[in-house]
Amino acid sequence: MRVGILTGGGDCPGLNAVIRAVVRKAERHYGYQVIGFLDGWRGVVEDDWVGLNVESCRGLLPKGGTVLGTSRHTPFNLDNGMARAGDTMHKHDLDALIAIGGEGTLSCASEVSELGFNVIGVPKTIDNDVGCTERTFGFDTAVAVATEAIDRLHTTAESHARVMFVEVMGRNVGHIAIWAGIAGGATYTLVPEEPFDLDELCAALLRRKARGRYASIVVVAEGARPQPGTLEIAEPPVDAYGHKRLGGIASVIAQEVEQRTNLETRVTILGHVQRGGSPTPFDRVLATRFGVAAIDAAHAKQFGQMVALRGGQIELVALKDATANLKPVNSEMLEVAHAFFA
Amino acid sequence: MRVGILTGGGDCPGLNAVIRAVVRKAERHYGYQVIGFLDGWRGVVEDDWVGLNVESCRGLLPKGGTVLGTSRHTPFNLDNGMARAGDTMHKHDLDALIAIGGEGTLSCASEVSELGFNVIGVPKTIDNDVGCTERTFGFDTAVAVATEAIDRLHTTAESHARVMFVEVMGRNVGHIAIWAGIAGGATYTLVPEEPFDLDELCAALLRRKARGRYASIVVVAEGARPQPGTLEIAEPPVDAYGHKRLGGIASVIAQEVEQRTNLETRVTILGHVQRGGSPTPFDRVLATRFGVAAIDAAHAKQFGQMVALRGGQIELVALKDATANLKPVNSEMLEVAHAFFA
Amino acid sequence: MRVGILTGGGDCPGLNAVIRAVVRKAERHYGYQVIGFLDGWRGVVEDDWVGLNVESCRGLLPKGGTVLGTSRHTPFNLDNGMARAGDTMHKHDLDALIAIGGEGTLSCASEVSELGFNVIGVPKTIDNDVGCTERTFGFDTAVAVATEAIDRLHTTAESHARVMFVEVMGRNVGHIAIWAGIAGGATYTLVPEEPFDLDELCAALLRRKARGRYASIVVVAEGARPQPGTLEIAEPPVDAYGHKRLGGIASVIAQEVEQRTNLETRVTILGHVQRGGSPTPFDRVLATRFGVAAIDAAHAKQFGQMVALRGGQIELVALKDATANLKPVNSEMLEVAHAFFA
Amino acid sequence: MRVGILTGGGDCPGLNAVIRAVVRKAERHYGYQVIGFLDGWRGVVEDDWVGLNVESCRGLLPKGGTVLGTSRHTPFNLDNGMARAGDTMHKHDLDALIAIGGEGTLSCASEVSELGFNVIGVPKTIDNDVGCTERTFGFDTAVAVATEAIDRLHTTAESHARVMFVEVMGRNVGHIAIWAGIAGGATYTLVPEEPFDLDELCAALLRRKARGRYASIVVVAEGARPQPGTLEIAEPPVDAYGHKRLGGIASVIAQEVEQRTNLETRVTILGHVQRGGSPTPFDRVLATRFGVAAIDAAHAKQFGQMVALRGGQIELVALKDATANLKPVNSEMLEVAHAFFA
């Protein structure tokens, strides 16, 4: 059997661990050959690839990012993409293609699967928003980075009696914000799932101040938005130089809070450090389990499926189901977070 | 409502986070009072306690260990224990008692529950061996400590072309060993669930050497034991000074491997660092969710139950069921580990 | 003897370790009493203080920030400040005042010393820019935070073949940038000591790209400025919401580099995380040595002096000399950094 | 110019960073060629080597250990070693040899230098015991590992009210123990420089207990020894399996303390994790500066010299002077540690 593998979308700690696991079990256990396509689907369309074996994957487990490179290209946004991708599959005589990625990459995998490709999906995203799986790798690492930052900000907040706003990733869902907020002991956390009420936030911060000398930490998912009518937001916020890459909603909120409450505020936008670096042990294990399960699924010809963590076990779910909807933060987690709001 | 809380058994990162969460939701949400018994069940029997409130729990979230102290005493191994414990419950007019602990503490909780106490259990153990819950807090932190140590040992192993043996905790089950072994890229992992074959281990290490200049890491759970007849073990192993606290099976194996293979070996016994220090974000979140769920359960008078993580959700399970059997490493995890054995 | 202590200026990891060391040696060795003034010089002027003893300092060693609070007030920027400060010293019968701070706090200490106060200075600043001492505590921690961020950005830079710009603290000097740049393996580092040539930077990045598929990291001290005439900078840069707290020079440069080279760029502004959190072991030791030396100096009535690290030893230097000039990065360090520029 | 490089003695974080720095400046700045000898002096004697260039050193900066391997062989303990080493130098037409190592490797370097080899020394040792330099790289990392372990042990010690003994490296000097003891807030620290009085240690631990519920941490350098007549020690201590590699003095002391004081004790022997893993930023910078200075010294034909850190600057000192005596902990550091003894 010959198997291709690709990594698509934003990079994420654990991608290399999946690649290594696929290659290891493919070569040593099944005797299969694996090739890696460069820069996600682009490599398939343009037949750009490298050979992979146990030896070339040595040392990959703890290494962040992806040695295969990644991009947001798909067969559907490249010229004549499907045909060329098909040619590549044919040329290399590939029996299966393992696609590791988030919502975009997996939706594409689902579509090409329905068009007849033998695809297996592996969910990755630091946002943890892929459906049908309790966890994606990369999320635990992102939460760890955000929590460490919050831990650090506590002491500086307290020394100066300030309100520190921390903006974390999460355009559509607030998993990172809620987890890091709970783990970091945040005073308040704003997520896309719950449009916020600025008056309530200000009141909470003032209540807290009234109780003593304490500083506050407010965690803000970059996709958090106010309840209609409570705060005018120039949408989307842009930075001083005209590009909107970095989010910035936390800065808008901080400035408004400072004006309304007279509390001193500071803003930290964590940015790309959340998606880089060596994966946590949890993410290394999850990525490795996903990789092993993906090549097992290829061996069992379970195409059109995605590996998933459910009830602590690795299972297969239909790619179509997994990509139907983003997975929001559930009500239990929101309520736990609320219990600690000032 | 008045609620008592205690922490029993070995200490574990996240105990303080549970205490803080219970107190926070009890005081702010329900308006309940909480008192903390010192040194586990001893404090209940001997009526030794401190008052707890949101203010006194400030800063506890990231702090390892337990501010309430812990011990292995129970009402059943202290003089007239049940009667005195009953007196304490009565004297303080306690409506519920939240017992945080591992197998010993929870079994005791199950028994006193059947004797009429209003008990709620919260599972903690770095070993992750409590039944009916996918995870206990403290485990993720222990795996993180062990994996960081393995990461460090890789470079020294490679510089000297040695086989490094790392002994981790796990008397009855090998969860820490298997997870840290997978996360750390171990060459081999020995766990209680699978009596090991020393010949096979030696053969694997020599196979690996035959492939090149590579060093090896062997992770050993302290409870790992050889297949009958394959290795004589003076049971239990003792250190040079006559006490057997630290395990030491890794040293026995290393010495035997060195004699049989002529490979240079070194041994590291991780010991107590695995159970100390600030909990990982995952453990802080899980401990906080458990604490919130425990006080919710007390409010709902769901006595004789234990909070548990199942399918990513917090649920209640009967203490009797949870303490019926230790939870071993399952076959999927063992197979994933095997895929990377030399 | 009775001794006062204060912490001024921006907060910094290690302040609490100094306070603890002063109190420990004062109480246990000399039998002196120590009081802590709140919010730096403001506490002295307004007679706002707390008593300190070994017991109340328990647990402070690893804790970032300052339990005394800090501010940028001085007797010279508060109404009738010197007279009120003198009243406070008299009222408490203080024999010495230990002032822990950076350039502002220590300059103030130097001045009030000349006006007759018995002051001892302890240098702190994450910027490492205080003269007459090889190191200030807080710097090692800041470099560690910045280096960890750079380590993380490497993998995401490589996965996407991007140029990542990282802005670190350093308004007037580039110690953090140069150390983190060398430790993190930066492609280029821009510091205030060397006005940069944007053409050269662009050429270097393109040279590197021409050699292969490699991504780049550019470290930028927030005070870095271009050579006159090479880049128009709206001075000072402001963010989208009109305040200039966060620096932002890295964003200006990144945008210009992207336009000139067509390389994809991203920006991370590290901000306040650099000054928070638990101090590194080096900073804990240095802060402790400074604290011990400060109370020793008070005992020896060496007023008007500052403790300093010189040749690996703790020595006393005149406050006047130490505050005469900021300490820039020296030529050896700049040359080491240059050796690795693309 | 052609330059050889070797790494000898125990491995140490930062060795790879030196190699990378030497190669980088040699190739890019001077246009020199560098070859790396394998396993220290063995590679020179047996002409076992690899070519090194900027490309092959990519990624080495943060990587612990040494890619060249290391051993304790020298030309003086290998058959006909000097003659064969001379042949190798001649065959490769080497103008200089850079020897990175601790006391053993550098003493050898000093000797072969006097026999006419063009040698430059670079001091490495986690023990920080090389003379004429304030610091060696590897030490900061070892202290960081030991301090993190102590931080973790504090919470478990407090939860159980135990005395935790931590044995750290340091056969002849106590730098790691003193620094980690101060940084970790140890109750007591035992080092080779000060033969200890067990009665005094026991008295201190009991004094501390008398003051309250506090646990204690005692840091023990593996080379710590009692004052004559105060404690019988079977010298050297061996473990249960007959080998003495792991030290173990801490176990002897702990057992004796437990018997004399009735305090509960536990022992952790840190072992090899202290010398493995990614170097701290400080060690990466020092190693890089040493590497750059070493190739500069080779270029300047300053043979028989060792690079050293003095007064915060990199200087050259005679190998003969640097290897004359081990550098003990000085009295200032011992006194700082004493200030915190119970």
**Stated pTM of the model:** 0.95
CB contact A327 to B (< 8 Å): no
Record: fold of A2-138+279-322: Rossmann fold (3.40.50)
Strands A96-101 and A188-190: unpaired
CB contact C248 to A (< 8 Å): yes
First to last CA, chain D: 58
* Out of A65, A164, A240, closest to residue C239 by CB: A240
- Do residues D224 and D196 touch, judged by C-beta distance below 8 A? yes
Residue D241: the pLDDT is: 44
Minimum CA–CA partner of A237 in chain C = C240
Q: Is A239 a catalytic residue?
A: no
Label residue C177 by pLDDT band (50, 70, 90).
very high
pLDDT tens digits, chain A, 342 residues: what are they? 999 999 999 999 999 999 999 999 999 999 999 999 999 999 999 999 999 999 999 999 999 999 999 999 999 999 999 999 999 999 999 999 999 999 999 999 999 999 999 999 999 999 999 999 999 999 999 999 999 999 999 999 999 889 999 999 999 999 999 999 999 999 999 999 999 999 999 999 999 999 886 789 999 999 999 998 878 776 555 554 444 544 689 999 999 999 999 999 999 999 999 999 999 999 999 999 999 999 999 999 999 999 999 999 999 999 999 999 999 999 999 999 999 998
Q: Do domains D2-138+279-322 and D141-275 have the same CATH topology?
A: yes
Query: What CA–CA distance (Å, rounded) separates C168 from C181?
Result: 10
CB contacts of B71 in chain D (<8 Å) are 160
- Do residues D218 and D189 touch, judged by C-beta distance below 8 A? yes
Q: Which residue has the higher pLDDT, C313 or A233?
A: C313
Residue with the two structure tokens 């009030």: C112
Q: Would you say residue D139 has pLDDT above 60?
A: yes
Would you state the torsion angle of the CA atoms of residues D124, D128, D129, D130, taken in this order, to the nearest 10 degrees? 40
Residue B231: the pLDDT is: 81
CB contact B143 to A (< 8 Å): yes
Minimum CA–CA partner of C165 in chain A = A272
Label residue D234 by pLDDT band (50, 70, 90).
low
Amino acid at D6: L
CB contacts of C241 in chain A (<8 Å) are 237, 248, 251-252, 255
Instruction: Give B83's contacts (C-beta < 8 A, 6+ positions apart).
Output: none
CB contact D145 to B (< 8 Å): yes
CATH architecture of A141-275: 3-Layer(aba) Sandwich (3.40)
**Structure confidence by residue, pLDDT tens digits, C90-109:** 999 999 999 999 999 999 99
pLDDT average, residue stretch C282-311: 98
pLDDT average, residue stretch C309-330: 97
Q: Which two tokens stand for residue D338?
A: 């004493």
Per-residue b or e along B246-268, where b marks 16 or more CB atoms closer than 10 Å to that residue's CB = bbbbbbbbbbbbbeebebebbbb
Radius of gyration for chain C, computed over Cα atoms and rounded to the nearest angstrom: 22
CB contacts of C15 in chain A (<8 Å) are 159
Dihedral over Cα of A238, A243, A249, A254: its sign:
negative
CB contacts of B28 in chain A (<8 Å) are 339
* Angle at CA of residue B190, ends D278 and B158, nearest 5°: 30
Residue C249's closest CA among C187, C336, C177, C309? C177
* Out of D7, D159, D273, closest to residue B152 by CB: D273
Label residue C241 by pLDDT band (50, 70, 90).
very low
* Angle at CA of residue C188, ends C187 and C189, nearest 5°: 135
Active site residue: A11, A127, A129, A283, which one? A127
* Out of B24, B314, B336, closest to residue A340 by CB: B24
Label residue C246 by pLDDT band (50, 70, 90).
very low
Residue A211: the pLDDT is: 87
CB contacts of A25 in chain B (<8 Å) are 339
* Out of B11, B156, B238, closest to residue D160 by CB: B11
* Out of C21, C281, C292, closest to residue D143 by CB: C281
Residue D227: the pLDDT is: 93
Query: What CA–CA distance (Å, rounded) separates C208 from C200?
Result: 12
Query: What CA–CA distance (Å, rounded) separates C167 from C250?
Result: 6
* Out of B70, B245, B276, closest to residue D152 by CB: B276
| Minimal CA separation from C126 to chain D, in Å | 14
Instruction: Give C274's contacts (C-beta < 8 A, 6+ positions apart).
Output: C126, C142, C145, C146, C168, C169, C176
CB contact B36 to D (< 8 Å): no
Per-residue b or e along C211-224, where b marks 16 or more CB atoms closer than 10 Å to that residue's CB = eeeebbbbbbbbbb
Q: Which two tokens stand for residue A114?
A: 């329905």
CB contact under 8 A, D332 and C313: yes
Q: Domain residue spans in chain A?
A: 2-138+279-322, 141-275
H or E stretch at B43: helix B41-45
Query: What CA–CA distance (Å, rounded) separates A306 from A113?
Result: 11
Residue of A16, A151, A280, A333 to mutate for B, most B C-beta atoms under 10 A: A280
Residue C236: the pLDDT is: 59
**Structure confidence by residue, pLDDT tens digits, D51-67:** 999 999 999 999 999 99
Residue of B63, B148, B151, B152 to mutate for D, most D C-beta atoms under 10 A: B152
Q: Would you say residue D243 has pLDDT above 50?
A: no
Residue D122: the pLDDT is: 98
CB contact B142 to D (< 8 Å): no
Minimum CA–CA partner of C242 in chain A = A240
Q: Which residue has the higher pLDDT, D263 or D241?
A: D263
Neighbouring C-beta atoms of residue A244, cutoff 10 Å: 12
CB contacts of A213 in chain C (<8 Å) are 69
Mean pLDDT of chain C: 94
Neighbouring C-beta atoms of residue C28, cutoff 10 Å: 15
CB contacts of C251 in chain A (<8 Å) are 239-241
Residue count (chain A): 342
Residue with the two structure tokens 């590197």: C208
- Do residues D191 and D338 touch, judged by C-beta distance below 8 A? no
CB contact B281 to A (< 8 Å): yes
* Out of D11, D151, D164, closest to residue B156 by CB: D11
From B91-105, B311-325, D203-217, D275-289, the region with the lowest mean pLDDT: D203-217
| Minimal CA separation from C111 to chain D, in Å | 29
Q: Hey, which residues does A314 pair with through a beta bridge?
A: A309
| Minimal CA separation from C134 to chain D, in Å | 6
CB contact under 8 A, B182 and A284: yes
Q: Would you say residue D87 has pLDDT above 70?
A: yes
Query: What CA–CA distance (Å, rounded) separates C319 from D231?
Result: 49
| Minimal CA separation from D240 to chain B, in Å | 4
Residue B182's closest CA among B151, B227, B152? B151
Minimum CA–CA partner of B12 in chain D = D156
Give catalytic residue positions of B.
Answer: 127
HEC letters along chain A: CEEEEEECCCCCCCHHHHHHHHHHHHHHHHCCEEEEECCCHHHHHCCCEEEECCCCCCCCCCCCCCCCCCCCCCCCCCCCHHHHHHHHHHHCCCCEEEEEECHHHHHHHHHHHHCCCCEEEEEECCCCCCCCCCCCECHHHHHHHHHHHHHHHHHHHHHHCCEEEEEECCCCCCHHHHHHHHHHCCCEEECCCCCECHHHHHHHHHHHHHHCCCCEEEEEECCCCECCCCCCCCCCCCCCCCCCCCCCHHHHHHHHHHHHHCCCEEEEECHHHHHCCCCCHHHHHHHHHHHHHHHHHHHCCCCCEEEEEECCEEEEEEHHHHCCCCCCCCHHHHHHHHCCCC
HEC letters along chain C: CEEEEEECCCCCCCHHHHHHHHHHHHHHHHCCEEEEECCCHHHHHCCCEEEECCCCCCCCCCCCCCCCCCCCCCCCCCCCHHHHHHHHHHHCCCCEEEEEECHHHHHHHHHHHHCCCCEEEEEECCCCCCCCCCCCECHHHHHHHHHHHHHHHHHHHHHHCCEEEEEECCCCCCHHHHHHHHHHCCCEEECCCCCECHHHHHHHHHHHHHCCCCCEEEEEECCCCECCCCCCCCCCCCCCCCCCCCCCHHHHHHHHHHHHHCCCEEEEECHHHHHCCCCCHHHHHHHHHHHHHHHHHHHCCCCCEEEEEECCEEEEEEHHHHCCCCCCCCHHHHHHHHCCCC
**Mean pLDDT in consecutive groups of 10 residues from the start of chain B, 342 residues:** 96 97 98 98 98 96 96 93 96 98 96 96 97 97 98 93 96 97 97 96 94 88 91 62 62 95 94 95 98 98 98 97 96 97 89
| Minimal CA separation from B228 to chain A, in Å | 28
Q: Hey, which residues does B34 pair with through a beta bridge?
A: B3, B52
| Minimal CA separation from D300 to chain B, in Å | 31
* Angle at CA of residue A253, ends C164 and A212, nearest 5°: 110
Residue of C152, C162, C275, C278 to mutate for A, most A C-beta atoms under 10 A: C152
ipTM score of the complex?
0.95
- Backbone φ and ψ of D2, nearest 5°: -125, 135
B-contacting residues in A 169-208 (Cβ below 8 Å) = 179-180, 182-185
Query: What CA–CA distance (Å, rounded) separates D216 from C76?
Result: 46
